[in-house]
Amino acid sequence: MRYPWTQAPWTQLQVRRQQQRLPHALLLTGPKGLGKTGFARDLAQSLLCEQPSSEGLACQQCRACARFAAATHPDFLVVEPEEAGKAIKVDQIRDLIAQFTLATHQGGYRVAIVQPAEQMNLAAANSLLKTLEEPPADSLLVLVSANPSLLPATILSRCQRLDFSPPSHAEALAWLSQEQQIPVDEAEALLSLACDAPLSALALREESVLAQRQALFQSFTAIARGQSALANLDPWLKLALPTPIHWLSSWINDLIRVKSGVPAGLRNRDLREGLQNIAQRVDLQGLFDFLDELHNILRMQRSPLNAQMLMEGVLLRWQSLSTAKADDK
């Protein structure tokens, strides 16, 4: 398998395959950044391979594997949004169903991946339902979703669910530092941002996100020390919402932990010293109230928001909170 943390679900499926008990529909769930789509593709190639290994891995040598690698295998289909962030349309699902009803070209499996499955619009999901209820023989439909709660209950009830969990922090850190040759301190910071999802951590590194986060934390610290919130506004406007709000709420969460005497669970472990210094300047109840306000903003993120006005209000609120305790002295 591609990643050590996906070995357990792979083994689980291969046991079922050997027992000829593979389902017709799988739902792969779990946070982003764990390799669910890669897992689905590996499974598809394995089922189409002419001579898979005893562990169920594709041989990479046969004609079927060559066609799979070239994205020309006629019995493998992928359905995803035509544009990033858009819905999967009903016509795409109808095309999938039409191909699923045909005989396979090589007399074996036909496999389709739908991802991210939660982006099917209602008509698309309803169209897929009939195929889930009456699946063709030797077919496997793999739905990949990081947000399965957004899928209709009728879809969920007709798929066997396979949950993917992040590796332990130690395992993720070892993989990034040893397998990907990322310095340990940098890997720690990336995992803090990625909620211990290793592939998300890699993606953040490619986007130079750590430097952006550090600039915002410096501004966050400067405001806590008495600098003007509005004078520190510019770096916060360089990132699209909701990213700065997510980071800010993460820091407030950690400040609450420090103030409550449970710093062992800090999400932003690389910022521990700075957070401990700030914690001396703020009131615990004020932190809880501020966190509630940030969560409300995140719940409104799908509504049209004026980013500049919103960030001005948030930073002024932080300025008020972080200077209140000093004013009381």
CA distance 220 to 286: 16
Encode pLDDT of 138-151 as tens digits: 899 999 999 999 99
> How confident is the model at residue 111, as a pLDDT?
95
Task: Give the list of residues 6+ apart from residue 57 with CB closer than 8 angstroms, or none.
Answer: 1, 42, 46
Is the same domain home to 269 and 195? no
Is the same domain home to 187 and 259? no
CATH of the domain at 68: 3.40.50.300
Question: What average pLDDT does the structure give for the chain?
Answer: 92
Whether residue 49 has pLDDT greater than 70: yes
CA distance 277 to 20: 59
pLDDT band at 5 (very low <50, low <70, confident <90, very high): very high
Is the same domain home to 10 and 138? yes
> How confident is the model at residue 303, as a pLDDT?
65
Task: Give the list of residues 6+ apart from residue 155 with CB closer than 8 angstroms, or none.
Answer: 117, 125, 128, 129, 132, 143
Question: Could you say which of 176, 207, 238 is where a domain stops?
Answer: 207
Give the domain range for residue 9. 4-163
Is the same domain home to 197 and 246? no
Is the same domain home to 141 and 189? no
Is the same domain home to 76 and 143? yes
CATH of the domain at 257: 1.20.272
CA distance 82 to 124: 14
Is the same domain home to 152 and 40? yes
Amino acid identity of residue 281, one-letter, is R
H or E element at residue 163:
strand 160-163
What is the 8-class DSSP label of residue 64? H
What is the 8-class DSSP label of residue 103? P
Is the same domain home to 319 and 250? yes
Is the same domain home to 107 and 229? no
CA distance 273 to 188: 15
What is the CA 275 to chain-centroid distance, rounded?
A: 26
Encode pLDDT of 222-268 as tens digits: 999 999 999 999 999 999 888 899 999 999 999 999 999 987 778 88
What percentage of residues in the chain have a pLDDT greater than 70?
97
Q: In what order do the strands lie in the sheet with 160-163?
A: 76-79, 110-114, 139-145, 25-29, 160-163
Region 40-58: mean pLDDT is 95
Is the same domain home to 179 and 152? no
**Whole-structure pTM value:** 0.78
Whether residue 329 has pLDDT greater than 50: no
- Provide the domain count of the chain: 3
**Is the torsion defined by CA of 197, 198, 204, 209 positive or negative?**
positive
CA distance 310 to 182: 36
Region 41-56: mean pLDDT is 95
CA distance 77 to 100: 9
> How confident is the model at residue 193, as a pLDDT?
85
Is the same domain home to 186 and 252? no
Question: Could you say which of 191, 207, 223 is where a domain stops?
Answer: 207
- The residues pairing with 76 across neighbouring beta strands, listed in sequence order, are 111
Question: Could you say which of 163, 194, 220 is where a domain stops?
Answer: 163
Encode pLDDT of 149-204 as tens digits: 999 999 999 999 999 999 999 999 999 999 999 999 999 889 988 888 999 999 99
Whether residue 136 has pLDDT greater than 50: yes
Is the same domain home to 156 and 201? no
> How confident is the model at residue 269, as a pLDDT?
84
